[in-house]
Amino acid sequence: MGGELALFIIFGALAVAGAVLVIAARNPVYSALGLLLNFCMLGALYILLNAQFLGLVQIIVYAGAVMVLFLFALMLVGERRGGPWRVSAAAAFGVVLALVLLGEVGYVVATQAVGGARGGVTPEMLAKVGNVQALGTVLFTEYLLPFELASVLLLVGILGAVYLARRRLAREG
Amino acid sequence: MVPVSNYLMLSGLLFALGALGVMVRRNVIVLFMCVEMMLNAVNLAFVALSRELQSLDGQVIVLMVMAVAAAEVAVGLALALALYRKKKSTDVDSASLLKF
């Protein structure tokens, strides 16, 4: 019990530290490293939450693929300075909005309990069947159509990225 | 077991940090990183509530969000490169032609 709470505090604090590094770092490469820390700690939190498959997918997809894409873009652009913070009335308003958002979330979480019917996926059932098999059963029966639509979405994403990133040769000169 | 409210508070904090980053940073690639952070914060809330409600629906939604985020990053970074090619800068304020 105490060990789990300690792990939660360590992972959570490191995730927040990564997030702060993303916002505060002047060099975008440091921002990317902070984001990497954030992703890895969230993966660890998923494993702590008994969602082992998602934890590993988080590491592979985010800390692997998405991070490589970010670093590729940073290196291709080659701009090392991230520019100063935006200092304007709009940015100050944004800070206030973020604080209000945080206060709202804190208020709701502190005052409301999680209601609703409990499903049948108890930790004992997960320990017997396995997280991957249980998730796969739900994904390929109840949520088959959204799963297939996700592949179409990824295809459209590939086409859009290729179209946008190609070099236009003749017209723009 | 760590209570679900702890996870929800952490999720809200990470989301607010991501939103703050979107407001105060100018580099378009850093902006995308902050958007990714917000998506991840929401994913954490989904997974925590999935455990609390003993249902796998939340984890399926997280998988969907990951697919959407991957597509979004591919298209978004291509947009960032197109912006850089056009303006020689990744500052979002350099693309303000349509701004009222």
pLDDT tens profile B15-26: 999 998 988 888
Q: Quote the domain boundaries for residue A15.
A: 1-79
Closest B-chain CA to A133: B56
What residue type is A19 in one-letter code? A
pLDDT exceeding 90 applies to what percent of chain A?
Answer: 45
* Residue pLDDT, tens place only, B43-94: 999 999 999 888 888 999 999 999 999 999 999 988 888 888 888 888 887 8
Mean predicted confidence (pLDDT) in A19-23? 93
Residue A140 lies in a domain: no
A40 pLDDT higher than 90: yes
pLDDT of the residue at A87: 66
Packing angle, helices A28-48 and A67-77, rounded to 10: 180
Residue A137 lies in a domain: no
A39 neighbourhood in chain B, CB within 8 Å: 40
Residue A4 lies in a domain: yes
Residue B69 lies in a domain: yes
Q: Interior CA angle at A78 toward A171 and A59, to 5°?
A: 110
A123 or A5, which is more confident: A5
Measured between its terminal Cα atoms, the distance across chain A in Å is 65
A85 pLDDT higher than 80: no
Residue B53 maps to which CATH number? 1.10.287.3510
Q: Quote the domain boundaries for residue B50.
A: 4-87
pLDDT of the residue at A20: 94
Residue B72 lies in a domain: yes
Residue B94 lies in a domain: no
Residue B99 lies in a domain: no
Residue B15 lies in a domain: yes
Contacting A residues, span 36-65, partner chain B, CB-CB under 8 Å: 38-39, 42, 45-46, 48-51, 53-54, 57-58, 61-62, 65
pLDDT of the residue at B96: 78
Which residue in A65, A34, A58 sits closest to A44, CA to CA? A58
The number of residues in chain B equals: 100
* Residue pLDDT, tens place only, A120-133: 778 888 888 888 89
A171 pLDDT higher than 60: no
Residue A15 lies in a domain: yes
pLDDT exceeding 70 applies to what percent of chain A?
Answer: 91
Residue A160 lies in a domain: no
Residue B33 lies in a domain: yes
Residue B95 lies in a domain: no
pLDDT of the residue at B59: 92
Residue A24 maps to which CATH number? 1.20.120.1200
* Residue pLDDT, tens place only, A145-169: 999 999 999 999 999 988 887 776 5
How many structural domains is chain B composed of? Answer: 1
Instruction: Report CA-CA distances (Å) from B93 to A71, A90, A152, B21, B26.
Output: 22, 13, 33, 15, 7
What phi-psi label fits residue B54: left (phi over 0), alpha (psi between -120 and 50 degrees) or beta?
Answer: left
B14 pLDDT higher than 90: yes
pLDDT of the residue at A149: 93
Say which residues have a Cβ less than 8 Å from residue A30's Cβ, sequence separation at least 6: A21
B80 neighbourhood in chain A, CB within 8 Å: 73, 77
Q: How is residue A39 written in tokens?
A: 């992703």
How many structural domains is chain A composed of? Answer: 1
Residue A65 lies in a domain: yes
ipTM of the prediction: 0.91
Longest dimension (CA), chain A: 66
A120 neighbourhood in chain B, CB within 8 Å: 54-55
Query: Average pLDDT over chain A, rounded to whole?
Result: 86
In this structure, what are the phi and psi dihedrals at residue B27, rounded to the nearest 5 degrees? -65, 125
pLDDT of the residue at A173: 45
Q: Interior CA angle at A157 toward A68 and A134, to 5°?
A: 80
Residue B64 lies in a domain: yes
